[in-house]
Structure formats: C-alpha cells, structure tokens
Amino acid sequence: MSDAMEADQLQALAARAISRPLVTHIYTADPSAHVFEGAVYVYPSHDIDAGIPFNDDGDHFGMQDYHVLRMDSPEGEAVDCGVALHVDDVPWASRQMWAPDAACRDGRYYLYFPARDAAGTFRIGVATGERPEGPFSAEPEPIPGSYSIDPAVFGDADGAFYMYFGGLWGGQLQQYRDNVHDPDGREPDDDAPALGPKVARLTEDMTHFAETPREVAILDADGAPLRAGDHERRYFEAPWLHKYGGRYYLSYSTGNTHLLCYAIGDDPYGPFTFQGTILRPVVGWTTHHSIVEFGGRWWLYYHDSLLSGGVTHLRSVKVAPLQHDAAGRIATLDPYGG
Ligand code: FUB
C-alpha cells in the first residue's frame, strides 16, 4: 500500500483492523516475540523520524535504539521496559538499528541486531545481558562472517541455536553470493533461482557463527526452487522460524508484494516447501512479524503504519491469534478483516 492515504480510507481501515497497537507513545516495528520467565517479551525496532529523506536504500529508517516490551499475555497490556541498547553504545555501529531478535541460553540473554558499520555496510551484532529486558552490553565487533539484516534466532529442542538472516535491496542481501560481498551485486535474473535467507548455527557462547552461513532453499510444490521473478512468493526479508507438529516453519516477507508467507521443512537447514500467505498487505511498505506460542495458543506479532497515517517508517506493533488447521496449514489473515 502507498504512503499517502486519504483520511477516510485510514478511518475505514482502522475501524476494520483486527488488532490495536501494543503501545502508542512510541512507534515500534519488526517485532520478535519470545516467552521468557512466563511472560511475552517483544523485541521491536524503535521507529523515529530521523529527518532523513526517503530513498530506495531505506535510509529514512534511521532508528537509534531498542526498547523491549513486556506482556503478561498477548491479550494483556504491553509495558515499555525502556531503552535496552543505543547505537552510541555499540563500538562498531554507525546508524540504522534495524530489526532485532533475542535468545536466552543458560539464564543469559542475547540481543541480536543489524546496523550499518562505519563503511555503511550492514553487519549483525550481539549484546548480552542478565535480564530479558536488558540493559544489554554490545560486543566490540559485529559477529565475524555476518552481513545483511534481520537476524532471527531459533532454539531447537536439542539445544542448538540457529540464526536466520538476510534482506534484499536496502538490506544488501543481493550484494552477496556464497558469502562473498560484491557491492554491485543484484537480485538474480527473473528465471534464475531466487536468493534465500542464510542460516548458521551459533556457538555455545551465542556470540559467533559455529559454521559458514548456508543458503536456505525455498521450493515450490514440484520441488523446484522459487524463481527470483516470482515476487508473490520469493524471499525478500524478515525470516522467522517456528516449530509446529514436529516440523519447521520458515515465514518471511515478500517485500515489494507486501505479503507474509510461509514454507515448511523437516530440518532447520531446509529445504522448505512453499505453502501460502499468512498475512495480506498492511498499511505501509514493509511487513515483518514473529510467531510465538503462549497459553496453548499461537500468536502473530506484526506491524502496520495505520497510527502514523500511513508513514512507512513510523510503524506500530500489533498482535493477533494465528490458527494452524488439522493438517498444520496456517489460515491467512487479513489485517483489516476483509
Ligand atoms: O525496520 C527496518 C527494516 O524494515 C527491517 O529490517 C525490515 O525487515 C523491514 O521491516
């Protein structure tokens, strides 16, 4: 959907919206939700108007810090736990604290975040803390071998943790092939296999990749890789992994077609077979989410730009119930009840 929306259009969408912003005193986006210590902790981007003109690289997404939100339940109120980490306290980062995620191992908490380094290249950093809400103390350097944006960390039942990451265009994923950087790199030709997110297992101390990042394959129903020109289905950004019925669900944004989609596999490394749409387009260009189980039900945390009147870099996190049917398929949601 476009940035500029008429007041009557906005009002109509607001009336039909399936959920309300978790908080309204700040703008929040890109929610990564986890259950820690019996509560839901949401790790969002903290959107601001940094006064930077719009461009295709997303420079107007000029976020500077992270606030963590706590909810006793997805149906309850969200409490802003305050600033958990600021770009000024990250030695290697220069700007654009984009979509974060968090993990807990052995009672210690880890905040993972992308930011541009001094040269303007996106890298992924980690900061550690004693509490789910922080504060977090950043490692002096980004994770060696990391690049691009949108880290999502999945802890499997066997104790292994995996980071999924990568986002196209402003997130620079198109500049990498086999983990090698080419600043002039582009998305593959339309009939070539699409780029996938990357995945790497984390070391036991949670601060490094234990292996070289691997490409994640997303296949169609015939087992063929999705094509780069298949913009309704190909991976763009915002990976998330959840496990349901013993299978691995990779969900993600299709970017310029504004869908949240999912694919299912039998291994955290994939391959994953495309299944369908989770969420139809929201108000605002970006769509980004997480999926979490709480109280025996499943929840979709997502964002839209309704509260800001459609300003694409001023978003608000929301939450809605998510249904898996008997076969494990996820029912498609319309954010405005259509
Ligand atoms: O919030 C900045 C970027 O917008 C995120 O990293 C992307 O996933 C998109 O939501």
pLDDT tens, the chain, 338 aa long? 444 578 899 999 999 999 999 999 999 999 999 999 999 999 999 999 999 998 888 999 999 999 999 999 999 999 999 999 999 999 999 999 999 999 999 999 999 999 999 999 999 999 999 999 999 999 999 999 999 999 999 999 999 999 999 999 999 999 999 999 999 999 999 999 999 999 999 999 999 999 999 999 999 999 999 999 999 999 999 999 999 999 999 999 999 999 999 999 999 999 999 999 999 999 999 999 999 999 999 999 999 999 999 999 999 999 999 999 999 999 999 999 96
Ligand 1 center to 99 CA (angstroms): 6
Atom of ligand 1 at shortest range from CA of 288: 10
Q: Report the C-alpha gap between 207 and 205 in whole angstroms.
A: 6
Catalytic residues: 30, 237
Give yes or no for residue 288 CB within 6 A of ligand 1.
yes
Output the pLDDT for position 1: 42
End-to-end CA distance of the chain: 15
Six-digit token string for 14: 């607001």
Does residue 238's CB lie within 6 angstroms of at least one atom of ligand 1?
A: yes
Whose C-alpha lies nearest to ligand 1, atom 3? Answer: 98
Whether the CB of 111 sits within 6 Å of ligand 1: no
Task: Give, in degrees to the nearest 5, the angle at Cα 333 between 191 and 284.
Answer: 70
> Which ligand 1 atom minimizes the distance to the CA of 99?
6
Measure the CA dihedral 316/299/71/199, to 10°. Answer: -80
Whether the CB-CB separation of 93 and 125 falls below 8 Å is answered with yes
d(Cα 320, Cα 17) in Å, to the nearest integer? 10
Domain ranges of the chain: 7-322
99 lines ligand 1 (CB under 6 A): yes
pLDDT value of residue 4: 55
Can you tell me which atom of ligand 1 is nearest the CA of 47? 1
What CATH architecture does domain 7-322 belong to?
Answer: 5 Propeller (2.115)
SS3 assignment, position 169: helix
Give this prediction's pTM. 0.97
Q: From the CB of 115, is ligand 1 less than 6 Å away?
A: no
Expressed in angstroms and rounded, the spacing between residue 286 Cα and the centre of ligand 1 is 7
> How far apart, in whole angstroms, are the C-alpha atoms of residue 187 and residue 196?
11
Long-range contacts of 322-326 (CB under 8 A, 24+ apart): 322/278, 322/291, 322/298, 323/298, 324/244, 324/245, 324/298
